[in-house]
Amino acid sequence: FFLSLKLENKIKGKLQKQVCQVVLDHFEKQYTTELGDTWSSVRDVLTSPLCWQYAILLNKFSRCTELENSLCVEGYHPAFQGGLPYLPAAFKCYIRRTPGRFPAQKHQAGKLKEYYLLNAASLLPVLALEVKDGEDVLDLCAAPGGKSVAVLQCACPGHFHCNEYDDLRSRWLEQTIESFIPDPLINLIMLSKLDGRQIGDLKPELYDKVLVDAPCSNDRSWLFSSDTHQATRRLIQRKELSYLQFQLLRSAIKALRPGGSLVYSTCTLSKAENSDVINLILSSCSDVMPVDMSEMAKAVSQEFAFLGGMQQHELLVLPEKGRAWGPMYVAKLKKI
């Protein structure tokens, strides 16, 4: 009886997750133009949550050997095995070819979680940042905290500043840090709720590495908007996002030390929020230069599908069946 009830509720949940036609129609027009023939296969994955493949990022501060063994039994294998230029030994992520989601762990005060469920493509910005021990790092738009947690799996920064302007998302970030990071290390992390557009003026040339995982038109979640009016408002406001992203990037560049690196990322396919923003920054800021990421793309080409024709300093992960899903845009710059 309980099994049939559980199955019934699961089916109901799937049926309730309906694609928002207003958003899909908008995407059809935009992405048919921007992606061409690729859009039809991308659309099929984006609109089918059962195709999404969740990765498992292990928490080195609460590592469990039994968990790794059980993951292997269930068909998971280590991600990022293709000779990446930067892959710390302590950084462990597992994926599998078949879609599915591993059970999530609930937040328990005083107890660290063993793993973080996420889209594997969202780890590419962190690996592109190449954080080393002792470096001063800024995560400008840090909530919900997955990339901040991933940074700490890679290295121990000298100073780690995690910022989130939105009050609700800031509390989410705080809970994520508490769930994954032990007390001694938490004391080295500074959480703030500053306007990211002002951080560059408040903290000029203070950081060696800056991650700008910018607010964007999240294609996956927008497609399943339950409120048509809200979806329509979002699509109207979408035009304003690129200017906000440009302002955040300009602020991040000011906060970066000369010789430091910056990674910009979004989870949208939109050219206006991706390449166009980076091109505008490169044409208007004389103190930054693009950094070639083609070696990184080559190393992970078995796990991710990338849009062709991109410049060497940028990647766009396309959702594709049998691959670790996106979308995820990543661009890397260096301050001169």
CATH class entry, domain 16-335: alpha beta
| Predicted confidence (pLDDT) at residue 275 exceeds the cutoff of 90 | yes
Q: Is 215 annotated as a binding residue?
A: no
Between strands 305-306 and 288-290, the pairing is unpaired
Sign of CA dihedral 98, 130, 132, 190: negative
Between strands 159-163 and 93-95, the pairing is unpaired
| Predicted confidence (pLDDT) at residue 10 exceeds the cutoff of 60 | no
Please tell me the predicted confidence (pLDDT) of residue 17.
73
Q: Is 74 annotated as a binding residue?
A: no
- Residues of the chain with pLDDT > 70, as a percent, come to 95
Identify the helix (H) or strand (E) that includes residue 62: none
Span 21-32, average pLDDT: 97
Provide the pLDDT confidence category of residue 301 given band limits of 50, 70 and 90.
very high
Whole-prediction pTM value?
A: 0.94
| Predicted confidence (pLDDT) at residue 273 exceeds the cutoff of 90 | yes
- Residues of the chain with pLDDT > 90, as a percent, come to 84
Residue 58's SS3 state is strand
Span 48-63, average pLDDT: 91
Rounded Cα distance between 91 and 80, Å, is 10
Hey, how many other C-beta atoms are within 10 angstroms of the C-beta on 306?
20
- Domain layout of the chain by residue ranges: 16-335
Q: Is 322 annotated as a binding residue?
A: no
Instruction: Record the tokens describing residue 178, joined without a space.
Output: 């508490």
Q: Is 144 annotated as a binding residue?
A: yes
Average of per-residue pLDDT values in the chain: 92
Please tell me the predicted confidence (pLDDT) of residue 15.
40
Q: What is the pLDDT of residues 140-149, one digit of tens each?
A: 999 999 999 9
Helix 228-255, helix 275-284: angle, nearest 10: 30
| Predicted confidence (pLDDT) at residue 277 exceeds the cutoff of 70 | yes
- Is there a catalytic annotation at residue 267? yes
| Predicted confidence (pLDDT) at residue 109 exceeds the cutoff of 90 | no
Q: What is the DSSP string of 220-288?
A: HHHHT-S-HHHHHHHHHHHHHHHHHHHHHHHHHHHHEEEEEEEEEEES---GGGTHHHHHHHHHH-TTE
Of 101-105, 116-120, 157-161, 296-300, give the lowest mean pLDDT range: 101-105
Q: Is 195 annotated as a binding residue?
A: yes
Please tell me the predicted confidence (pLDDT) of residue 13.
47
Span 14-36, average pLDDT: 89
Q: Is 133 annotated as a binding residue?
A: no
Rounded Cα distance between 138 and 160, Å, is 6
Residue 14's SS3 state is helix
Q: Among the options 20, 93, 267, 285, which is catalytic?
A: 267
| Predicted confidence (pLDDT) at residue 305 exceeds the cutoff of 50 | yes
Please tell me the predicted confidence (pLDDT) of residue 98.
84
Span 57-62, average pLDDT: 96
User: Among 153, 141, 214, which residue's Cα sits nearest to residue 180?
Assistant: 153
Provide the pLDDT confidence category of residue 99 given band limits of 50, 70 and 90.
confident
Hey, how many other C-beta atoms are within 10 angstroms of the C-beta on 311?
15
Between strands 305-306 and 314-318, the pairing is antiparallel
Instruction: Record the tokens describing residue 152, joined without a space.
Output: 């700490």
Span 173-197, average pLDDT: 95
Please tell me the predicted confidence (pLDDT) of residue 11.
41
